[in-house]
Amino acid sequence: MGRAPCCEKMGLKKGPWTPEEDRLLIAHIKKHGHPNWRALPKLAGLLRCGKSCRLRWINYLRPDIKRGNFSKEEEETIINLHDMLGNRWSAIAARLPGRTDNEIKNVWHTHLKKKAAAVLKQNQKANNNNNNNSDDHKQNSKTTTAHDHRSSESAMSPQASSSGDELSSVTTGEINNNYNNSDQYCMDKYVKGDHEQNVDSFESFPVIDESFWTDTSLSENSSNLTSDFGGGLNEFAIGHHDYGGGMDFWYNILVTSGTDSLTLPF
DNA sequence: AAAATCTGCAACCGCGATGCC
DNA sequence: GGGCATCGCGGTTGCAGATTT
């Protein structure tokens, strides 16, 4: 409320950075670090606002930045992570060493979005054929009510409509039915916080005990599970992936702790 | 060859979260 | 507990180079 814009002061430079500015910024951060971005430009002799300095450092000057084209593996990783996490670019970047959220965001909008959309279309087509050809194709009752959250960009991610609290916009018990680029569909459920309520709402939620990890029947009737992991982890979620005609199953676990999350295939 | 259009990317903007006084 | 400062994130913009007409 009434907060002054960070570059309100006249005389602060905007636009592309010059090599000299880069040099000054690097030299200052190497010597003093960046305990206070706001104060940094003055101390470094730069006519920039702190925000601009921070962005330049994080997106371009950091020594561990990896430049150059994205590898196929990186692209696939981004597509898969975006499928699970939505537009949480910083979370995606955290899993791609040397890549920045800005870079990933750019590459998504320029390349991968189209790629993912094309594959999605292809998969939907294949899926339709599959459904038509196999009346007895088993559909979990939850699955039939799930919606394809890629039907529009804003709905592509669980939290796309959320402005902040990651994962929290997904209503309890909601299942997101994702179709991605490897002839699979997966159902990922994201829940944060009130796990009790969620468990209650999920009819077939199994007991997480020793047998849970070996019980193959779970893939038959429970395509999506979630629970509170405890021990500092806020949650985990499992999605099952159905290759081809539903014959081959495997699972991913999405473990989330605070703003960090990790996908573990098993 | 010039103009129009497209593409890629660096940088900016606004807002919510967090921390500090 | 409230207000302010700062940080970090995601959306958007603007520009330069590439491509097409």
A56 and A97 in a single domain? The answer is: no
Predicted pLDDT at A124: 76
Q: Which candidate, A213, A201, A262, places its Cα nearest to that of A234?
A: A262
* A207 shares its domain with A104: yes
Based on the fold, state whether residues A157 and A86 are members of the same structural domain: yes
Residue A3 lies in a domain: no
Same domain, yes or no: A36 and A98: no
Q: Given this model, what pLDDT does residue A178 score? A: 33
Domain boundary among A5, A33, A61: A61
Strand B within 7 A of A115 CB: no
Is residue A24 a part of any domain in this protein?
yes
Residue A102 has pLDDT above 80, yes or no: yes
Distance A15 CA to B10 C1' (A): 9
**Mean model confidence pLDDT for chain A:** 59
Which residues constitute the domain of residue A181?
A: 72-265
Long-range residue pairs from A116-121, CB within 8 A, at least 24 positions apart, any chain: A116/A79, A116/A82, A116/A83, A116/A150, A116/A180, A116/A181, A117/A150, A119/A180, A119/A181, A120/A150, A120/A179, A120/A180, A120/A181
Last residue of a domain, one of A38, A61, A84: A61
Cβ of A18 near strand C (under 7 Å)? The reply is: no
Q: Which nucleotide is nearest to A59 (CA to C1')?
A: B10
Residues A152 and A242 in one domain: yes
Using DSSP's 3-state secondary structure scheme, residue A210 falls into helix
> Is residue A5 domain-resident?
no
One domain, residues A25 and A96: no
A138 CA to B21 C1' in angstroms comes to 61
Q: Is residue A107 part of a domain?
A: yes
pLDDT higher than threshold 80 for residue A83:
yes
| Greater model confidence, A13 or A216 | A13
Q: Which residue is nearest to nucleotide C16 (CA to C1')?
A: A16
Does the C-beta of A61 come within 7 A of strand B?
no
Contact flag, residue A4 CB and nucleic strand C, below 7 A: yes
Q: Å between A175 CA and B14 C1'?
A: 32
For chain A, how many structural domains are there in total? 2
**Quick one: A40 and A120 in the same domain?**
no
Q: Of the spans A29-43, A117-131, A205-219, A220-234, which averages the highest pLDDT?
A: A29-43
Whether A171 and A80 map to the same domain: the answer is yes
Q: Is residue A115 part of a domain?
A: yes
User: Quick check: A61 and A20 in contact, CB under 8 A?
Assistant: no
From the Cβ of A149, is strand C under 7 Å away? no
Q: Is residue A1 part of a domain?
A: no
- Residues A35 and A125 occupy one common structural domain: no
A15 touches strand B (CB under 7 A): yes
- Please tell me whether any atom of strand B lies within 7 Å of the Cβ of A184: no
Does one domain contain both A85 and A133? yes
pLDDT for position A134: 52
**pLDDT at residue number A133:** 60
Instruction: Answer yes or no: is A2 within a domain.
Output: no
